[in-house]
Structure 1
């Protein structure tokens, strides 16, 4: 299956970020997340039952995994275990991530 970037819809997450499901397999998916502006607020953490690998496409982020915070930049990657608490804030305008999830994030799929 081929997925053409320009044909894929963006989904608004909030006023500063959006996501695009880039590819869907039988049990894993790629999701691009784009942030319009840098943020200077506390990191909001979350957790989910999916394993996640994140690659920084553009810009820089402050990520938090559990109690550890780390600056990551374009070219860096991270891995999150299922139900591991994590979150980030973009440190540069126009920062982007590519996330891989398994199993599929049904909550990200458009009906």
Structure 2
């Protein structure tokens, strides 16, 4: 299946962020997440978890990520070119640190909720 740029749709998530599902199949999905502004905890992706395995690649800008393990929190600043792996059910969240920051997220299995937006 082909996903051409002219056919892709951007979903507005809130005042600061939007999401574009780039490609998906039965078990794998890629999505690009856009952030208009940074440096404000109100613009954050709240700490959450989900049953999907996730990788995140920073396309543009930088982010402060928090990963909550049972015995400690890991807080890291990542920038363009850095990647992160999240096992299923791991609590995580982030704050964009720069305006116009972007992430490329991959999920397995796919995020059906992203297709219903």
Distance 1:102 1:15, change over 3 A: same
Q: Flag structure 2 segments of 5+ consecutive residues without an equivalent.
A: none
Stretches of 4+ aligned residues off by more than 3 angstroms: none
| Structure 1 residues not aligned, in runs of 5+ | none
Comparing 83-92 and 33-42, the one that deviates more? 33-42
In the alignment, what sits opposite 2:74?
68
Count of residues paired in the alignment: 111
| Length-normalised TM-score, structure 1 | 0.94
Which one of 92, 98, 105 corresponds to residue 99 of structure 1?
105
Match of 1:81 among 87, 101, 114: 87
Which residue of the partner structure matches residue 114 of structure 2? 108
Normalising by structure 2, report the TM-score: 0.89
**More strand per residue: 1 or 2?**
2
What is the alpha-carbon root mean square deviation over aligned residues? 1.4
